[in-house]
Amino acid sequence: MAAGLLQWSLWSALSPLTWSLFYPAVFLSAYLGGVLSGLLATAMAVSMGIYFFIPPEGSFNVADVRYYYSTAIFALMGLSFNLAFEQLRRSKAELQRIASLESEVNHRRLNQALRAANAGIWEWNLQTNENQWDEGLWRLYGLEPFACQASYDVWLSTVHPDDRAIAQAAIHQAVQQNIELNVEWRLAALVDGRERWLMSRGQPELDEKGRPLLYRGIVLDITERRQIEQSLIEKERLLADSQAVAHIGSWVRYLPGGQAMWSEETFRVFGLSPETDQALSMEQLLETVHPDDRAARRAWHQDCLAGNSGNGLEYRICTPQGQQRWVLSKAKLETTADGQPWRLIGTVQDITEAKLAAAEKQRWIDAFRYCGHGIAIGNPETGRLVTCNPAFAEMLGYDNADQFEGQLILSLYAPEYVESAAQRLHEADQFGKIRYESVYRRQDGSKFDVAVDLVSVKNAEQKVMYRVATVQDISVRKKQEMELLQYRDHLQNLVEQRTEQLNQALQRAEHLTQVKSSFVANMSHEIRTPMNAVLGFCYLLEQHALNEEERSLVRKIRDAGRSLLAIINDILDFSKIEAGRLEIENLPFRLSDMFDHLAALMAAAADHKNLELIIIPPAGVDALVGDGQRIQQVLINLLGNAIKFTEKGEVVLRVTVDDWQSGDTVAVRFAVSDTGIGISEPQLDDVFAAFTQADNTISRRFGGSGLGLAICRQLVNLMGGELRVNSVAGQGSEFWFVLRLQRHLDCNPAQSLPHLHHLKLLVVDDCETTREAVNTSARSLDWYANAVDSGEAAIVELLASLERAEPYDVLLLDWPMADVDGTSIAEAIRASLAAVNADQPRIAIILMISSSYSRELLAVDADMKYVEGILSKPVTPSALYNAVAAVLSKSPPLPVLPDKSSNLAGTRMQGLRILVVDDSDINREVARRILESEGAQVSLACDGQDAVDWLFKNPGAVDLVLMDVQMPRMDGYAATRRIRKNPAWSDLPILALTAGAFKNLQEAALEAGMNDFIAKPFNVPQMLALIRRWTGNNSPLGVTGLASGDPDDGLIPRGQSAPLIVPTTPDPDDWPGIDVNAGLKMWHKRDLYQAYLARFVEQYRTAGRDISVAAEQGQLAELATLTHKLKGAAYGLALTEVAKRSVELETALHHSQPLAAPAAALQQALDVVIISIGNLSANTLSPLDHSAQREVHDSIKPLLSELLTALDEDNPGHAERLLLKLAGLVDADLLVPLATQIRDYNFRQAESLVLALISQLDIPKQ
């Protein structure tokens, strides 16, 4: 119908093709509906064509006959197509039937195959998550087929819990990567009582975009395969373990290509790893063979290829680890069916231990055979010998050891020893090993003594397997023992006699030791008694108004006495240590106090040689428990030596805490270093020996007894340490020791003033060690300290601190420094700070100076207005605190120290009544004069009895008694006991006067009732202080508080900060370039001042020209050194114009400015001052009349005579001091050659020059 409607609508356009439009309808009807539908569609098409399209239209009539033909043709064609399509449909149905039959057969075959293979098929739709399993798969999972819906969760429930994570991970990876699925797992439930393994493999089906739609696969039961694999693994492991135990590895080498396979043990035998290494080729294998065995190994390999491997080959190999091993290789050749070599299979065994065991066995066989002692092995069951060595047979007189086999063991012994020998055999079986002596019988019947070591060797059940006897012929030893017994009694008698002699010698030695100690004590008393008089009278003489020469002589006597006293003290200390009578005390002491004492004692000596003395305290440690006096004694000796043997540079005392021990114990290291002459390596061994110095010239150059270091080392040893030394000749030395000391926790620290808490200090010094020392001292006071090395750096840091709003409180400034002196820096700092902020609080500036510069600073105040105070070096914590406190507390200025002859002397003991008891009239006189000069009322007694009688006659007439301990008639001990018996005198202070330095004398004095003791010779300040302490008289001691022991040095006391006050000066003399009055105030002595002026002329006459030459040659370092020294000398001698020009030159040098003009100005100033110095010397010596000339000669004559004596004694120090005195009296040109010879130690040449000088000056020879 659709075709008819279409034809009708297109009739006008398609009339020729009218019937063709019905064909598709007929074809489709016949194909889909069959033959009946096709015939019906044909009939309908014919009817519709006649009715609608063949004229007349709308009728079944046919007007034209031609239309019958076309209609008939169409009908026949429709019929034909229907028949054809019917036949086609029937053929298709037959084919489908045949295909269905084949599919069923294949399906049946597949099921049979799957059932036979125990496998199952599955399909998993990833889009719907649906699973399809065949019946076999349900059976594999152990589930009832189709009892539930197949799903992922059902499958997962069948997987063993231990395998679920692995199986899920494999599935997830396959799905994510679109790859083949391959997973193995165990079933959770046992099947037939055993574990079953399954393996699943599946392929993905992808869409057109490559995304997986589903997976199809198969599941196989691999339980048997797994069991086989496990069995193979176990067999391989068993084989590998067996090879490892036997050290036998297996290998296969294929002959056509040379490829090889090795077992794991083979790798281990060759020192290789089966995990990282590969089997070696033949060439590589030969490389591992020992060079001496390679030829044999190569030949054996060729034999194996020929089928003749024999019993294998033993050879050595070298492993990569450097080990050498013995191996045994065996091989077998396998051939192909046609007889061609195919491969070699073999083993390699590590036989190193067997080889070593064989070698060890051979060594024991050789030892047994060649041992010098007889060795025999016996059977305990039969009691007969099994074997013996040749030495055993020879011992018994047999030629061959085989003759002993089977012989009874007891038959070897002499008949009388058989029973005891049997007992010994039993004891050996019981105890395992015994040693005894017996008698054997030789083949010829002779007997001899033997020593037998018998061992019974037992098995694990403690059954004796055999006995081993080692036999030694001791007949010679027995004979010697008999002879020794004969000598023993004789020797015993001799020993007793010698012991008696030694006892007598020991008693004599002890007696001599007592005599020696008594002699030393007596000598100490006898020497100290006159020494007391010498030093006492020196003290008294110094109180008088003396001229310079007289005062110089008194000081020489005093210094010589003190030197002798020091030697005596050394000898006494050494004697005490030798006798073991020196005791170490453990008392609280402060390191800070010790540093102050050391600084006070050693500063003058260091300053005298222009050395920098530096003390570096430890951090956080001060109060300790130990023998502080002995530690100080050691340090004084070490510092004194360091100063003595150092010509320039520095001497440093550094105390550090090496280790904090458990509890309150600290290890404190004391070290004294210097930049002196040092000690050579060969001399280090003898440096601590008594009475020894580094070389023979040391004693003559520097003096000393050679006991100091020996005493120091023994003192340190007694305190539990060891004194050691590090030294390099020409570079300096370091002496150091470490002591373990207790911290004194009960010692209260000194309380600082509130306004001195947490101060900020800036330290300016060009010496790095000094900066470290001052910083450490500041930190010990809980102050912040920073340090710089120059004036410019100081200004930069001060300005930076203002910008940080963290200004410094105190500036510690060295004077002088290399670049510029401290006063100039202070002036520049004041100017810089004022320019930045005039309202800024004034920073306190303290100059750090050595004593050698003190006079100069006190004399010149023009540049001192910028400075608040002065701090003497070396700087210690307490000295630093006192100086800062004095400045910041605005303490009143300290007056210039009075002279020794101040009117304070004579009032310190005013009204004190003292009884002096001494059998020496000289000592009594010395004591009387000293005490009376201090204002005391003194009474005298010549011995103890006289003192007791005086006291009974004058009760209550005395405040204190000075009592000598060793006196005739009644000594001081007995007298004190008598006095103490009287209740009225029980509180009377009695101080012992003892020249004996041994502690037992002091203890005896205290035991007798004395309150304290004073050692002879008198140390006057100490004696006066002790008297005041016991009498309650605490009046000030005036100048005795000086740091220096020299009363004329005019130094500021240590730890004090004083204003710079210039003493009142008279009208100045008119000497151009020289401020003579200022110079004399600094030097005090006119002749000494003139001497140094003369030396200045000698050294710096052409300094300006020398500086110009150095500048032209670019020698800036030498130029800076010369300028710095010249400036210091000019300031020290009050050469104002030279000093000013020196500062200008130094400033120009520092700022890299031209030097020609400043150098010329300096030379001009030098020329002027040289003329003034010459005029000053001439004025001093004029008028040159005969009386004046004679007076000059009289003053020169003793000096030259004394100089000759000093040169004859090879004493350079004394000679140089005499030259200084002569410098103001004799033309410098005459003294320069003499000074040169003395400095070079050419003493004989110097003597000739002195004699020539005496002749030239026309002075009569002495």
Mean pLDDT of 895-905: 36
Judge whether residue 140 has pLDDT over 70. yes
For residue 901, what pLDDT is reported?
A: 36
C-alpha closest to that of 468 among 365, 373, 375? 375
Name every residue whose Cβ is closer than 8 Å to that of residue 1033 and which is 6 or more positions away in sequence. Answer: 908, 909, 912, 1027
Q: Which residue has the higher pLDDT, 1038 or 990?
A: 990
| Cα separation values, 714 from 580, 583, 717, Å | 11, 12, 5
Judge whether residue 697 has pLDDT over 50. no
For residue 1088, what pLDDT is reported?
A: 62
Rounded Cα distance between 233 and 542, Å, is 112
For residue 1059, what pLDDT is reported?
A: 31
383: left (phi over 0), alpha (psi -120 to 50) or beta: left
Tell me the two tokens of residue 696.
């023979």
Percent share of the chain, pLDDT over 70: 79
Mean pLDDT of 715-723: 91
Q: How many CB atoms lie within 10 A of CB 248?
A: 20
Q: Contact at 8 Å (CB) between 816 and 852?
A: no
CA-CA-CA-CA torsion for 1245, 1251, 1253, 1256, nearest 10 degrees? -130
Rounded Cα distance between 1079 and 1093, Å, is 10
Mean pLDDT of 727-737: 92
Long-range contacts of 124-127 (CB under 8 A, 24+ apart): 124/152, 124/202, 124/214, 124/215, 124/216, 125/213, 125/214, 126/175, 126/212, 126/213, 126/214, 126/215, 127/213, 127/214
For residue 581, what pLDDT is reported?
A: 65
User: Could you tell me the pLDDT band of residue 864, with boundaries at 50, 70 and 90?
Assistant: low
For residue 200, what pLDDT is reported?
A: 92
Judge whether residue 588 has pLDDT over 50. yes
Please write the tens of the pLDDT for every residue from 41-68: 778 877 777 777 677 777 777 767 666 7
For residue 1168, what pLDDT is reported?
A: 84
For residue 522, what pLDDT is reported?
A: 66
**265-274, 1128-1137, 1161-1170: segment of lowest average pLDDT:** 1128-1137
Q: Which residue has the higher pLDDT, 713 or 886?
A: 713
Query: How high is the mean pLDDT of the chain?
Result: 79
Mean pLDDT of 446-452: 93
Order across the sheet with 119-125: list the strands: 130-133, 119-125, 212-221, 197-206, 181-186
Q: At what angle do helices 708-718 and 548-579 cross, to 10 degrees?
A: 50
User: Could you tell me the pLDDT band of residue 614, with boundaries at 50, 70 and 90?
Assistant: very high
For residue 927, what pLDDT is reported?
A: 83
Mean pLDDT of 84-107: 75
Mean pLDDT of 368-380: 90
Pairing of strands 810-814, 844-849: parallel
Please write the tens of the pLDDT for every residue from 487-507: 887 888 888 888 888 888 888
For residue 1057, what pLDDT is reported?
A: 34
> What domains can you pick out in the chain, each with its CATH number?
18-117 (no CATH), 122-228 (3.30.450.20), 247-354 (3.30.450.20), 358-480 (3.30.450.20), 585-745 (3.30.565.10), 757-894 (3.40.50.2300), 913-1031 (3.40.50.2300), 1076-1177 (1.20.120), 1194-1257 (no CATH)
The distance from CA 249 to its chain's CA centroid, rounded to whole angstroms, is 53
For residue 940, what pLDDT is reported?
A: 93
Mean pLDDT of 296-301: 91
Rounded Cα distance between 1177 and 1093, Å, is 9
Rounded Cα distance between 391 and 371, Å, is 7
User: Could you tell me the pLDDT band of residue 894, with boundaries at 50, 70 and 90?
Assistant: very low
Mean pLDDT of 1083-1095: 69
Q: Which residue has the higher pLDDT, 939 or 79?
A: 939
**233-242, 546-555, 688-697, 1028-1037: segment of lowest average pLDDT:** 688-697
Judge whether residue 1041 has pLDDT over 60. no
Give, in degrees to the nearest 5, the angle at Cα 1045 between 1042 and 1051: 45
Judge whether residue 705 has pLDDT over 70. no
Mean pLDDT of 326-351: 90
Secondary structure of the chain: what % helix, strand, coil (to 5)?
A: 55, 20, 30
Q: Which residue has the higher pLDDT, 889 or 233?
A: 233
Name every residue whose Cβ is closer than 8 Å to that of residue 475 and which is 6 or more positions away in sequence. Answer: 448, 449
Give, in degrees to the nearest 5, the angle at Cα 1216 between 1215 and 1222: 90
1055: left (phi over 0), alpha (psi -120 to 50) or beta: left
Rg (CA), the chain: 61
Output the pTM of the full model.
0.39
Judge whether residue 1070 has pLDDT over 60. no
**167-171, 710-714, 896-900, 915-919: segment of lowest average pLDDT:** 896-900
**172-176, 341-345, 355-359, 1251-1255: segment of lowest average pLDDT:** 1251-1255
Name the residue with tokens 């009474």.
939
Judge whether residue 481 has pLDDT over 80. yes
For residue 13, what pLDDT is reported?
A: 42
Q: Where are the beta strands (DSSP E) in 197-283?
A: 197-206, 212-221, 248-254, 260-262
User: Could you tell me the pLDDT band of residue 863, with boundaries at 50, 70 and 90?
Assistant: low
For residue 291, what pLDDT is reported?
A: 94
Rounded Cα distance between 693 and 704, Å, is 9
For residue 999, what pLDDT is reported?
A: 62
Please write the tens of the pLDDT for every residue from 254-288: 887 778 889 888 898 999 988 888 888 888 888 99
For residue 735, what pLDDT is reported?
A: 95
Name the residue with tokens 């030396």.
1095
Judge whether residue 857 has pLDDT over 80. no
Rounded Cα distance between 732 and 647, Å, is 11
The distance from CA 753 to its chain's CA centroid, rounded to whole angstroms, is 40
Percent share of the chain, pLDDT over 90: 21
For residue 553, what pLDDT is reported?
A: 75
Asked if residue 1017 has a cis previous peptide bond (ω within 30° of 0), the answer is yes
Q: Which residue has the higher pLDDT, 561 or 934?
A: 934
Asked if residue 816 has a cis previous peptide bond (ω within 30° of 0), the answer is yes
